[in-house]
Amino acid sequence: MRFQTLYEGRAIFAVVFLLGAVGWWFHLPWLLGLFGVLFLFCVNFFRDPHRDVPTEPGLVISAADGTVTDIVEVEEPEFLKSKCLRVGVFLSVFDVHVNRAPIAGKVTFVRHFPGLFLDARDLECSVKNEAMAWAFEGEGVTLVVRQITGAIARRIVPWSKLGDVVQRGHRFGMIRFGSRTEVYLPLGTEVTVEVGQKVKGGLTPIARLSR
């Protein structure tokens, strides 16, 4: 557990502990039981495990834990403004929600986009939901990552900022509760995952860049 990650859940933990205190004060076993379930859920959600980030040159690692939902060719409209391969990952409420840099490089673009809160499993959420886009400029390549809210996840938390130089696997932010994260790759990139595959942020290679 990391303090920075747990701190993002401070308001939620406060409400949970208030429920527990009320249950204890008024001797309400059912409320104490609810407190226990919610407390365990929050601890699980805000967990932030250590990851041994792969060091092999040319690898692009997953920016998030979750399930690969789509690998498609699309236009990246915010920064690259060109056709890219998009790898989309859906994060359930049971996945780690910390997002990590897919490559080492400099943060050259950060922008927040207001929007809706459609279910993150709906591909329409990619263009309609509230989101935050990041560009990471590495050696000879720039990748874009989009953090997208969902029906439950309604807050994107940025930890890095424009101009930061980060290592592959660096924690640059998180999304609270179920959501979606996308990585935009250059056309022709060798994708090493498939739809339906479970991935782990900072650990699972999702692509191999051309040298």
3-state helix, strand, coil in the chain (%, to 5): 20, 35, 45
Q: Please choose, from the candidates 133, 120, 132, the residue with its C-alpha nearest in 3D space to the C-alpha of residue 179.
A: 120
Phi, psi of 125 (to 5 degrees): -65, -25
Does 179 qualify as catalytic in the annotation? yes
Give ∠ CA 156-161-122 in degrees, rounded to 5.
Answer: 30
Q: Which of 62, 126, 160, 179 is catalytic?
A: 179
d(CA 81, CA 211): 22
Question: Which residues are marked as active site?
Answer: 179
